Chain A
Amino acid sequence: MSNIDKATVAKIARLSRIKIEDDQLEPLADELNNILGWIEQLEEVNTDDIEPMSSVVDAKLRWRDDEVTDGAKSEAILKNAPNSEYGFFAVPKVIE
């Protein structure tokens, strides 16, 4: 099933927001095909009527009262920002 080509690697890289140089696409395709080919042995397992398992903890998420318990710490939140201005995170211009 798995046949990842250069175009697919480029697409995954774009979805992952990781810049990959063109000469790296081919080796990455080989690597990913190798791993996914091994993963595909799962196809031989019969999983009809098996519920997907997303958590090992059966408990339902706890509810809490709808009240403010935290906040007013914008300074602490911005402290590690690579760039901030006027109490906001600053990023490259997005609107022309």
Chain B
Amino acid sequence: MTGLTTLKISEARDMLAVGDISARELAEAHIAAVDTADGLNAFIVKTPEVALKQADAADARIKAGDAKAMTGIPVGIKDLFATKGIHTQACSHILRGFKPEYESTVTQNLWDDGAVMLGKLNMDEFAMGSSNETSYYGPVKNPWRAKGSNSDYVPGGSSGGSVASVAGYMAMGATASDTGGSIRQPASFTGTFGFKPTYGRCSRYGMVAFASSLDQAGTITRSVRDGAIMMESIAGFDIKDSTSVKMDVPNFEAALTGDIRGLRVGIPQEYHLAGMPGEIEALWHQGIEWLKAAGAEIVDINLPHTKYALPTYYIVAPAEASSNLSRYDGVRYGLRETGEGGGLNDMYDATRAAGFGQEVKRRIMIGTYVLSAGYYDAYYLKAQRVRRLIADDFKRAFANVDVMLTPTAPSAAFAFGEKSDDPLAMYLNDVFTVPASLAGLPGASVPAGLDASGLPLGLQILGKPWDEETVFKVSGVLEEAAAITAKPDLWWR
């Protein structure tokens, strides 16, 4: 049975098509794998009955010759995608008991294509975190351990359950979401392929909102090809999201030609960070050499406002969050605490004090402050202006290059508690991912190597708006050149 859980989506699809395996067998193997991995805490809700029903429907569909690429493929769903009648709480206590009466468009697209749901995945509360330590349901453990060590590491965040479920051979793919790096950074920490498309490529309908001008759905998979297959399924215009853009979804898999001859790859000089581990610099240099060897032209470029991206993000995102999260008031759904005094305001104050975790409160308060009278211009408008300068940096640079290559994160996975007491140290995790988020650009993290202790490291590819195909193509070349064979030991089984 374990053989089935190590298959890639592309391999399973081909085997399902010719009848070598059935969707039911595939689902049963993955349900069993999920059950062996409770210690990783990746799944917070398991839905084996749903999975088996969907698998049987998939088998019928394959038999009828009506299969899509995702038909019969077992996936995990990040807890911020609304799944009708099933726990959807963005891993926050304030949404206690919430089971939506509707389905998110991203998950509906997967079910329409015949995918199979294994359950809901752990994450940082409301996607606010870079280590999955802010979840109400407790942290997720990284399936990877350092060589010869029994210590646990964080999986990154906020999509910590998504990456652990895929790296730990429980799910073949997982949905994820990226506001400032929540797909790419955890992918780098777990040796998985994380893909965030252009803002507007996927519908945000039914996604629990964090920062609406930044939030975008994406995927975690064990190969670039699998990412292309799954992204094609979840993407597309949706009338129910006013920021979703009406454009055809290309055949992403067809972009994986392996031919990048003559392609211009930009290397942003500002991403050479003082104090970054030498092995990350070395891996970046290795990535440059791989792409050069494949025929790409390497061009040094400048993104002068890079150092201002993180402070800009930590105004814009909390401001939007403070507004979005005002809906959690104890009236319409989730937790209600009556509070001392028993009045309406007492109820609001007590519900939100009990329902939100420390990091979420911190961000709501920063957001409220920067939007408050007297500070709006100095903080919020200022940040929106710098955001435009950052986006303009990219626009100017992309006039001259096709993609950019950078490290994904400034470190490998770290230990629990190492950064959770220092918000600024935690925020620095996203130093390389946040700028592209502010500009709405597509980006991917490709597993490219291991550090000296054997923990995975990723390289990031950034593309022009709506040019996901080139990001996939270059990712594919990197993946092939890196040829990583290391896997996590299955120590939790």
Contact = CB atoms under 8 A, between A and B. Distances in A.
Interface stretch (B108-116, B132-140, B142-150, B339-347): B339-347
Interface string A37-75: 011111101010011111111010110100000000100
A81 B96 CA distance: 11
B366 interface: yes
A42 B312 contact: yes
Interface of B: 97-102, 199-200, 213, 239, 242-243, 245, 305, 307-308, 311-312, 314-315, 322, 326, 329-336, 338-339, 342-350, 352-353, 356, 361-362, 364-366, 368-369, 372, 378-379, 381-389, 391, 423-424, 438-440, 465
Interface residues of A, number: 51
Contacts of A7: none
B481 to A, nearest CB: 31
A52 B316 CA distance: 11
28 contacts: A15-B372, A17-B326, A18-B361, A19-B352, A32-B366, A35-B423, A39-B315, A39-B379, A42-B312, A42-B386, A47-B386, A50-B388, A51-B388, A52-B387, A53-B391, A54-B384, A57-B243, A61-B242, A76-B101, A79-B99, A80-B98, A80-B334, A82-B335, A83-B336, A89-B331, A92-B338, A93-B344, A94-B343
A79 B329 CA distance: 16
Given A62-B242, A80-B332, A52 B424 contact: no
Contact of A50 (B311, B365, B389): B389
B384 A52 contact: yes
A55 B97 contact: no
B259 to A, nearest CB: 30
A8 B336 CA distance: 27
Contact of B388 (A15, A42, A52, A83): A52
A45 B423 contact: no
B83 to A, nearest CB: 14
Question: Would you list the 7 A-B pairs with minimal beta carbon distance, nearest first?
Answer: A56-B440, A52-B384, A82-B336, A47-B385, A53-B388, A80-B333, A19-B349
A2 to B, nearest CB: 9
A58 to B, nearest CB: 10
A16 B312 CA distance: 21
A38 B311 contact: yes
B99 A42 contact: no
A76 B424 CA distance: 42
Contact of B308 (A17, A45, A79): A45
Contacts of A9: 365
B369 A92 contact: no
A9 to B, nearest CB: 8
Contacts of B368: 12, 15-16
Contacts of B338: 92
A82 B334 CA distance: 7
Given A17-B329, A17-B345, A36 B334 contact: no
Nearest to A53: B388
A82 B243 contact: no
Contact of B424 (A13, A34, A82): A34
Contacts of B314: 35, 38-39
A57 B348 contact: no
A18 B356 contact: yes
Contacts of A77: 101, 332
Nearest to A79: B101
Contacts of A43: 382
B440 A57 contact: yes
Nearest to B423: A35
Nearest to A80: B333
Nearest to B318: A35
B333 A39 contact: no
Contacts of B345: 17
A35 to B, nearest CB: 6
